[in-house]
Amino acid sequence: MSIKQLSLFENVPPEQDTKAVTTSEEISELEITILLSALTANAIAQTDSTLISALADDPRAIAIAKTFDRPKLVRQLRLSQPQKESEFIKPTFQGNQVFYREREIGEIQLVYKSPSPGELQAKLTHESTIDRFLEFLQKKYQIVSLHESNYHVQIFIPQTQQSHNIEELWIEFITKVIFSIYGDFQYQLSGLMQTFITMLKSVTLAGRGFSTLEIPIITRDQAKVLAAFYLAIFEQVKDRQEKRETEIVQLIEKIKSEELNSKDLESTEKKLKSKQEMQAKEFNKYRDYFQKVLSKLLDEQRAIYHEIRTLDEQLKKTGLSKAQVSKLQKQKDKIESQIIFQEGSIEEKQRFLEESDGNPFEFIEKQKQTDLLKPIQAIAKSFNKTATEQINSTRGDIFTQCILEMYRLLENPKLETIPEPLLTINPKILAARTAGDDGKDFCYSCGVTLDAKTVRWRVARFMFERPSQRRQSSSSEDRPFICSSCSVLSFASPLKVTDDSIILRLKPIREKSGYDDRVRLHNLKEYLRGLTTGELDITAGKYIILNSQKDKTNNGDIASQKLGLKQYALAKIASKLPLEVLSDWEIDLYLQKSTPDKLERRQLILLKGIMEGYNQNIIIKDAKTQEQKNEHKINLKLGDAIRYVQQDMPYLAEFIVSGVPDYNLKFENKIWLESIRELYWKQINEDVRNQQRSKGVYSMSETTMSKRAKIYEDVAALTGLLYPFIEWAEFLIKKDKEMEEKRKQGKKEQDNLDEKTIDKIKKEVAREISKIIENVKDEHFFTYYASIGDQDRTKIKATLKRDRDTYFIYDQARKLIFEKLKISEDIEVKKDGIASLNLTLDDIKNAYTYFANDPLYTDKQGDKNWRDFTYRLKLSLYTRFPELVRKLSSKGDK
């Protein structure tokens, strides 16, 4: 059977082995993937020169080979000399088994996904963890995903890897990769340093902070990372105390200097008193809580160990019945679960407590002299202020709890069981339960059955965006119960939904794929890794989370709050991602709701073009103050442009930003903008075709989209027709004004004018050109003003060249003239390889007559439609003269 018959939803019948000798052009990407998987895993000998040569002759093979992260195989393919007319033997299939040259090389297996949670943040955790697991399987064990749906994944397992159970590999993935500190560097698989720590450094989960994390601990590395987090919080509080103490000393020295006048002295003494009171209040709060809680806890821990020894002695007695032994053992297990400190460290802590007089800062400094904290001190330095402020350490009880949790994690972390695999050979069937969403017998996140007697974990901020839930069958709001798997996996997921988080999911567009999806996804991941290096943005599988806290002004104004979160997200995406990704990938945006917003590619393309073409950044210098100091402000004008882009008003969006102060549009920017206009035109027409193909019904949305596409094209065509006349008029008017000024000043024609006069002429020319553009709504007024400066107004001509900065409007104008107006093609000439159109005023009149009779512009609303059309034309022409827009904007003209 062929690879096309492989399906998640079909039973594949056994088939006789049919050897197929073919050329590389006839083999599919999935068949190449299977062969490369088998080669990488040595299920096919890497000395098979025939196969290597045939693969080397196919450019897809090298691209797919890179996704296995095996440089040796890629190098082998590149160095192999392709043979002429190489025989390419395709893999064949018998049931689930795969053969090559009549030898089994592996099997195809269907694995099932666990039920996906309904809450957005938990769902993102679930999906991104599966993506990361599949990447782990492919890179380390060459087990590759062939097809994936919402419920299944079809994988190819090379014959040499069939001894590995998919569920056993899950344990390795959990313990050695996502819950290890650094992940797997060899295969570029992220660990907690790249996920948990980076997330805390970039995303604020709760504005007021929260308490210590109630979450299962499943590996020693996880315990170390969390302990390091608490140590970093301690260090941040200590730094705050030391900084304030330094300020107090400086104020005291300032007062003692006797250089202050009475007014300044009074103010300084008042400030000193305030800081001293705050310092004493905060220190006493931390010391009192710490001393009280730790003293009590040390006594309790001594009592626990004493009770354990007593129970051990009782268990050693002979003649105990099974029931008695069981009872004593249960008592012992229950007591052991309360152990925090190792028995040998209790007296050491008692000594540190007495020597420091309950001062937690001195206590920890003494502890640093021992080996206990050394494994986490380097990790603790990885956390920044944003991370440490996630915990509300200003409260004395939470500060003390952080220290005690740090000790518990280092001395006695109680390791929970590894979470159940999210991919299993047999489907998970949820057990039936009573109706209602309030109870202890099921996980509120994924729905699996829980034991109501032993359930421990509740929803926390790490798991849900809003942990407190008012369930339909409950009379109050509280935190629902959750299974340990959902709880612990959230710890390793960097995807957190907050008021400021921007989460994207990227999916390749199949019809634009030169290679299969895995190649393009691999290339995208490599790009995103480079993109987020040194940044506080995070990637996880097909997801990327952008940091919105980074874009803020000197005064602390956050761009996402001023522009609007979605508008900011669009600007961030357009500025971060390359044009190829925006064109060839579907991008879903998650903003605090379970249903993502599918972003329109044409709008992202246009926005990127505007931002780069007009040098628009989210944060810009404040023109009013930059001479005095380096002040910045949020680019609100860009925010307006984004809203116009969202409404598919491209000409208005471009016009809004075309008058950027103190920025001269370079020729390369004009070339870039012209290419963007063409891309936008192509994309909006592609969107029209896709809508028409989707249902075959001409819906209202299709009508609207078709109108927008036609208007954009018509405005571009008429822009191309009018632009050369305006450009020619600008030249003539400028020349006339210069000659007039030279006559007034008694200068010769070849003499230069001073800068003041030149600036005056520029303003006068701008005023005259503005009159021409403002009158595009009427052909008679336009032709009248456009001919100013020409002695023979009735015979004025203009030439439109097909240059790199005008080729789009040239092509649209040419299409209008030859295909719609049926004007003779004699007006187009070519010289030195550059085409040009020789236009007259009659061509303008013919074009206006054509559009005036177009039903789109003369419908029931007649004049309004025409005004809207010519308004867009006016904006389009203004963007061709950005210097003119700046001069008008500086005078307040609109």
pLDDT band at 659 (very low <50, low <70, confident <90, very high): confident
- Please give the Cα distance from 219 to 217 (Å, whole number): 6
The single residue listed with the structure tokens 């104004």 is: 557
**What pLDDT score does 157 carry?**
95
- Positive or negative, the CA dihedral 345, 346, 347, 349 is positive
In a domain, 686, yes or no: no
Q: How many CB atoms lie within 10 A of CB 656?
A: 25
Mean pLDDT of 399-410: 95
Residue 429 domain-assigned? no
What is the sign, positive or negative, of the torsion defined by CA atoms of 231, 237, 241, 242?
positive
Q: Is residue 482 part of a domain?
A: no
Which of these three, 607, 636, 663, is where a domain ends? 663
Same domain, 645 and 705: no
Strand partners, 103: 100
Query: Does residue 426 surpass a pLDDT of 70?
Result: yes
Domain assignment present for residue 436? The answer is no
Residue holding tokens 């092509």?
811
Range name among 192-196, 778-782, 867-871 with the lowest pLDDT average: 778-782
Instruction: Report the DSSP beta bridge partners of residue 152.
Output: 112
Confidence class of residue 530 from pLDDT cuts 50, 70 and 90?
low
H or E stretch covering 840: strand 834-840
What's the pTM? Answer: 0.79
Structural domain for 387, as ranges: 220-411
Residue 493 lies in a domain: no
DSSP SS3 for 612: helix
Evaluate whether residue 453 is within a structural domain: no
Q: What tens digit of pLDDT does each residue of 453-483 get?
A: 778 888 877 677 677 676 666 666 778 888 8
Residue 633 CA to chain centroid, in angstroms?
A: 24
Please state the rounded mean pLDDT for residues 303-317.
92
For residue 465, what are its two tokens?
A: 């965006």
pLDDT at 23 over 50: no
Q: What is the mean pLDDT of residues 591-606?
A: 86
Judgement on whether residues 640 and 720 belong to the same structural domain of the protein: no
Strand partners, 110: 154
Least confident of 191-195, 624-628, 712-716: 624-628
Please check whether residues 856 and 749 belong to one and the same domain: yes
Is the Cβ–Cβ distance between 125 and 92 less than 8 Å?
no
CA distances to 236, 253, 466 from 250, rounded to whole Å, are 21, 5, 45
355-359, 579-583, 707-711, range with the lowest pLDDT: 579-583
State the chain's mean pLDDT as an integer: 84
Confidence of residue 623 (pLDDT cuts 50, 70, 90): low
Q: How far apart are CA 100 and CA 28, in angstroms?
A: 15
Q: What are phi and psi of 544, to 5 degrees?
A: -140, 135
> What's the rounded Cα separation, in Å, for the pair 3 and 91?
9
CB 491 within 8 A of CB 215: yes
Q: In terms of domains, do 717 and 650 share one? A: no
Query: Which position has the token pair 């078709």?
Result: 706
Q: Which of the residue ranges 17-26, 175-184, 744-753 would you say has the lowest mean pLDDT?
A: 17-26
pLDDT for 12 beyond 50: no
Q: What is the pLDDT of residue 22?
A: 45
Strand 797-801 to 632-634 pairing: unpaired
Please indicate, yes or no, if residue 435 is contained in any of the structural domains: no
Q: Which residues contact 579 (CB under 8 A, 6 or more apart)?
A: 605, 608, 679
Query: Which DSSP state fits 801?
Result: E
- Grouping H, G, I as helix, E, B as strand and the rest as coil, residue 366 is helix
Q: How many domains does the chain have?
A: 4
d(CA 874, CA 886): 15
Q: Do 708 and 847 sit in the same domain of this protein?
A: yes
Lowest mean pLDDT of 38-47, 241-250, 446-455, name the range.
446-455
**What DSSP state is assigned to residue 857?**
T
Does 531 have pLDDT greater than 70? no
**Quick one: 654 and 773 in the same domain?**
no
**In the predicted model, is pLDDT for residue 306 greater than 50?**
yes
Residue 842 CA neighbour count, 13 Å, CB half: 7
- Amino acid in position 412: N
User: What's the DSSP call for residue 408?
Assistant: H
Task: Check whether residue 789 and residue 834 sit in a common domain.
Answer: yes
DSSP-based three-state secondary structure for 322 = helix
Q: Which of 278-292, 408-422, 554-568, 858-872 has the lowest mean pLDDT?
A: 858-872
Least confident of 527-541, 708-722, 795-809, 856-870: 527-541
Give the whole-angstrom CA distance, residue 330 versus residue 764. 95
CA 585 to chain centre: 13
Q: What is the pLDDT of residue 144?
A: 93
- 265 and 322 in a single domain? The answer is yes
What are residue 591's phi and psi, to 5 degrees? -135, 85
pLDDT at 675 over 50: yes
Q: What is the pLDDT at residue 15? A: 38
Q: How confident is the model at residue 648 (pLDDT cuts 50, 70, 90)?
A: very high
Among 63-67, 355-359, 693-697, the range of highest mean pLDDT: 355-359
Q: Is the pLDDT of residue 16 over 50?
A: no
Domain boundary among 395, 411, 427: 411
Is residue 136 assigned to a domain? yes
Looking at the structure, tell me whether residues 382 and 516 fall in a common domain. no
Distance CA 696, CA 691 (A): 8
- The pLDDT tens digits of the residues spanning 147-201 come to 888 899 999 999 998 888 888 999 999 999 999 999 999 988 999 998 899 888 8
Query: Is residue 535's pLDDT more than 70?
Result: no
Q: Residue 534: which pLDDT band, with cuts at 50, 70 and 90?
A: very low
Which of 359, 385, 411 is where one domain is finished? 411
pLDDT of amino acid 892: 46
In angstroms, the CA 721 to CA 851 distance is 13
711 and 853 co-located in one domain: yes
Higher pLDDT, 388 or 455: 388
- Backbone dihedral angles phi then psi of residue 77, each to the nearest 5 degrees: -70, -40
98 and 151 housed in the same domain = yes
> Which residues, 6 or more positions from 116, have their beta carbon under 8 angstroms from its beta carbon?
123, 126, 127, 150, 446
| pLDDT tens track for 552-562 | 887 878 888 88
* Whether 739 and 628 share a structural domain: no
**Tokens describing residue 3:** 């690879």
User: What pLDDT sits at residue 714?
Assistant: 96
355: helix, strand or coil: helix
Alpha carbons 614 and 608: distance in angstroms, whole number:
10
Separation of alpha carbons 144 and 157, rounded Å: 7
Buried b (16+ CB within 10 A) or exposed e, 83-115: eeebebbbbbbbebebbbeeeebbbbbebbbbb
> Which candidate, 44, 47, 4, 50, places its Cα nearest to that of 27?
4
